[in-house]
Structures are given as C-alpha cells and as structure tokens.
Amino acid sequence: MGLAAQLSRFLPCLEWGRGYTRETLVSDVTAAVIVTIMLIPQSLAYAMLAGLPPEVGLYASMMPLVLYAVFGTSRTLAVGPVAVASLMSAAAVGAVVKQGTTGYVEASILLALLSAAWLLLMGFFRLGFLANFLSHPVISGFISASGILIAVSQLKHVLGVKASGHTLPEVVSSLGANLQDANGYTLLIGASCLAFLWFVRLRLGKLLASLGVPKGMAGFIVKAGPVLTVIVTILVTSLWQLDREGVAIVGAVPAGLPAFTFNLPGLELVKTLLLPAFLISVIGFVESVSVAQTLAAKRRQRIDPNQELIALGAANLGSGLSGGYVVTGGFARSVVNFDAGAQTPAAGVFTAVGMAVATLFLTPLIHYLPKATLAATIIVAVLALVDFRMMREIWVYSKQDFLAMAATVALTLGVSVEVGVASGVILSVLLHLYKSSRPHCAVVGLVPGTEHFRNILRHEVETCETIVTLRIDESLYFANARFLEDKVYSLLAANAKLKHVVLMCPAVNEIDASALESLEAINHRLASAGVKFHLSEVKGPVMDRLKRSHFLEALSGQVFLSQYQAYRTLAS
C-alpha cells in the first residue's frame, strides 16, 4: 500500500477532499444551515439534561464536528451531544460530584477525555468487533428505557417543581411529593411547547404537503419547529417578565468561543469514571456506527468501523479540550443531514462554523429562554426512541432475547443506566452460552431421489437400521462437548442393531480441545461396543486442526467428503 493510500485510510478527508466541487459545496452548506438550526436548541437542551450549563452544549457542537470531518469515514454522520450519552454522563458524574459546581463541569469534561482515550485505544487495536457483544435487543431495550427515564426526569421542568432521583421510581416519587408546588405559568409554557412540537413532528409535514408547499421547503419548516418554539417562548417570557412569576429561565450565557484548557484531575476521580466512560464509549460507538452504516448503504458507500473509533475518539478529545462533554453520532441529526443533501463531512465543519457564530453573537438572546421549553424539546426527541413495537416483536420471535431486553429495561429504569446495559450484555452472553451448550441436533435420513439429508422427524426419508447419522448444527467447544457425548450414547443405547454412527458436520466451524477429547471418548466408547465412528462433510480448516492431533489415526471409521457418499458406502 502506497503512502498516499495509507494517509487516505487514516485521514479519509484526503479522499473526499480531492473531488470536492462547487456543487458539493452548495449541498454541504445547505445541509449545514438546516442542521445548525436544529442543533442550537438541541445542544442547549442536552447540556441541561447532562446537568451542565447550556453553553457547554454549544462548545460540544463545534470542535468535535471538525475533527470528525477529518478522521470519519461516514459522509453524512452528524456528531454532537445526544440524549442517551447526556443521560449517562449525568448519571456517572452526578454519582461522584454535586451538580451546579465547578467540579461537576470538570468531571464531565474528564469523562469526555476518558471516553476519547477508550475509543482511540480500541481503534488503535482494531477492536470494533467488541460492539458485537451488544445485541440489538439489549441496545433497543436500553435506548427505550433511557428514553422513558429522560422524558420523566424532564417533567420537573415542565411543571416547574423540584425533583431528584436517578431511577424511575425515585423520579416519580419525587415528582409526586412536589406536585402541589407546580407553577402555572411554567406548566402553560411547557404544555404548549409539547403540544406544538408533537404537532410539528407528526402533522405539520402532511399539512404543508396538502397545501402544496414544496417538499424541501416543508422539510425545512418542520426542522425549524424547535427554533420557532425557542424564539416565541423567549419573547413571551421577556415581554411579560415571567421569570418574576417563578418561571425558570436559562439566564446569562457567556458569549465567546471556548478556551482550550485542561486541569489535571485527581487519580480517584479517574478511577471512578473509567468504567462509565467505557460503557458510554461502546454504546455511543454502536449507535453511531449503526446510523452511519444505514445511511451509507443508501448511497452505496461504506464505512470503516475501526476508523470510526478513531474519529469518535478524536471528536471526544476535541470536545473535552474545548470545554464540552461526551459526544457521538446522533440519529435524528444524521438523518436530517442526509435528507438535506450533505455530500461530505465538510457539512459538519460548516455546521461547526454556524454554532461558533451562534455562540459569539446569539447567546445574549437566550437569557429569557424557559427551561420548560428545553425540557419539552428533550421529551419530544427522546420519546421517539421508545420502541414498544420492537419489544412486542421480540417477545413473539424469541423469548430468550426478550428476557435480555426486559432485564435491560427493568434494571435501567429501576437501578441505573450502567447496571442496565451491563446486565443486558452479561445476560445476552450467558443466554448465548446456554443455547450453544444445547445445540440443535437431528438424526437425518436420505430424501428419496436426491442426495440431500433431512431430519427424520420432519420429512419422509430413507434410513438404514445399522446406520445413524447425527447432524450437529453448532461448532463444538467446551460448553457443548458433554451434550454431544450424551446424545451419541443415548442413540447407541436405543438401537441394538447399530453398527455405524456418522457425525455430520456441515455447520461445525471449530472443534476446541475439550470437544476433541469428547470425540476421542465417543470413538473409544463406540469401538468398545463394536460400532464404528465416522465423520462427514468436515470443513477444511476444521480438518486441518484434526490432522494435527492423533484423533484421525485412532478413528475407528472414516472421514467422508459428503454424507451421501458415507451413506451409500456404509449401507452397502
């Protein structure tokens, strides 16, 4: 591989940058304008969700986008603050530092830097496959539970009451205890924003289409709905001075770009945040790559998961060093970026420029922004993540997967987000081990007139009373080796005329040392009973490993290339 190719692999921006045209620039700038309009209220809202000052959300929406554009392989992924990562950040940092303090902000920045370290480390060692241990039901359950928890936790801002808690029972109990203190003006603002944002999300696009508004313009108006909500509620609150009536507002937001600073943290704080940073990194990576792959497939493009680890690590490093917090690829923003026509990651750079302009000149205007407006923005965004239909489908399809999903949901809502996702992963692995320890086995026979073999319990097949063919539909390893022994011995005991046992291995991709010992024991036990042990349809790599052992020399029977050959040879 040449130097230019190596550089392009590590710096994908060199690849798309070579073919950058004026038409591409127009498409990217247009997409950036739409995403910026969407990102301004979202960044403020998600910072509040993370327990941070609103300007931190703005800081996290600039440098990460630039660095992802340099190192990322997705042409349309939009990186920045997202709901689930914000919730996990609040849970992790809130467990060790009190919200509202300088230490809380510093700990959130440290969490972003630790996440960056994990992502870069995994990218360097090409460990993108670790994300495969997060099954889709576990991720879906975790995101749905997080959406419910986030939405309920934001009701305190809609009601104008004080409430606390990190679990659903704690938050609901705290809300109920303080419900009598609800502020009427705050509730009116929050409820109005919720109703309007739901209308914008679900109905406005169809209404505009029925009125003959062009699709592109209609989409722009729908995406600008949250910004309109922000503008109107700021005007209403400032004109009527509703902050004097108890309506909580954002207050003064420092203008200006973030300074690149880093304070050396204490070792104990680093140790405490290491595991949460790892969980946030893995979950953020899975969410980001899933979105990136989906969008890339629509344009017949491809992404490199290991390079995505590097890109997300760089983005979090930039976020931490510029006063932001943990970031990842967001589903809603990425879809908007894609639909708006973004052609390259340069759209993210232009979005960062737009956010910098907003940070420099627009922050004084959001002084009177009600927190209820931001809460409504969060609630509408995260409830779209709750997927009860998926839960129902998984229940019907696989009870084991549903068990992992239900455990993830219950523990996320009832204990903590970290325990929820960790338990889901562990339970998924344990269920997989249990399932593979009892692999599907079938005694098969020859389908008349063909060379195919099928389960004797499902098909009308030809068999021979002196031959039993057992097809094993799983690789053989320590967890299922004893199961195979018991299965063969039960077949031996059930047939007094048995002379040949054939183990059919088309689905066996590996035989580990424990399974090899079991095969040797089966061969010895059958030989002592006057029965020969044969193998058929053994894959090349498996056969290569068997040749490195003494098993084939001691095998009482033969190894057949096909099951049809084995059956005809032994039956005759």
Unique residue bearing structure tokens 């005759």: 572
Return the pLDDT at 179.
Answer: 92
Is residue 378 within 8 A of residue 190, CB to CB? The reply is no
Q: What is the pLDDT of residues 203-212, one digit of tens each?
A: 888 888 888 8
Q: What is the pLDDT of residues 32-85, one digit of tens each?
A: 998 998 898 999 999 999 999 999 999 999 999 999 999 999 999 999 999 999
Give the C-alpha separation, 495 to 360, whole Å: 84
Q: What is the pLDDT of residues 485-534, one digit of tens each?
A: 999 999 999 999 999 999 999 999 999 999 999 999 999 999 999 999 99
Return the pLDDT at 540.
Answer: 95
Is residue 315 over pLDDT 90?
Answer: yes
Residue type, 42: Q
E strand intervals along 123-178: none
* 552: confidence class by pLDDT, cuts 50, 70, 90: very high
Domain ranges of the chain: 21-386, 441-571
Is residue 1 over pLDDT 60?
Answer: no
CA atoms within 13 A on the CB side of 62: 23
Is residue 369 within 8 A of residue 234, CB to CB? The reply is yes
For the chain, how long is the longest CA-to-CA vector? 98
Instruction: Supply the angle between the helices 168-177 and 136-153 in degrees, to the nearest 10.
Output: 10
Return the pLDDT at 5.
Answer: 63
Return the pLDDT at 2.
Answer: 58
E strand intervals along 55-170: 79-80
Q: Based on the number of CB atoms within 10 Å of its own CB, is 355 exposed (0-12), middle (13-18) or buried (19 or more)? A: buried
- Mean pLDDT across the stretch 252-279? 86
**Average pLDDT, rounded, for the chain:** 91
Instruction: Supply the angle between the helices 22-49 and 331-339 in degrees, to the nearest 10.
Output: 160
Q: What is the pLDDT of residues 169-181, one digit of tens each?
A: 999 999 999 999 9
Give the C-alpha separation, 232 to 369, whole Å: 9
Give the C-alpha separation, 168 to 176, whole Å: 12
Give the C-alpha separation, 57 to 485, whole Å: 59
User: For 80, left (φ over 0), alpha (ψ -120 to 50), or beta?
Assistant: left
First to last CA, the chain: 57
Is residue 136 within 8 A of residue 425, CB to CB? The reply is no
Return the pLDDT at 254.
Answer: 87
Unique residue bearing structure tokens 């004080």: 162
- Mean pLDDT across the stretch 384-400? 88
CATH T-level topology, domain 441-571: Transcription Regulator spoIIAA (3.30.750)
Percentage of the chain with pLDDT > 70? 99
Give the C-alpha separation, 558 to 507, whole Å: 19
Q: What is the pLDDT of residues 338-372, one digit of tens each?
A: 988 899 999 999 999 999 999 999 888 899 999 99
- Mean pLDDT across the stretch 275-289? 91
Return the pLDDT at 385.
Answer: 82
Q: What is the pLDDT of residues 129-167, one digit of tens each?
A: 776 777 888 888 888 999 999 999 999 999 999 988 889
- Mean pLDDT across the stretch 222-246? 91
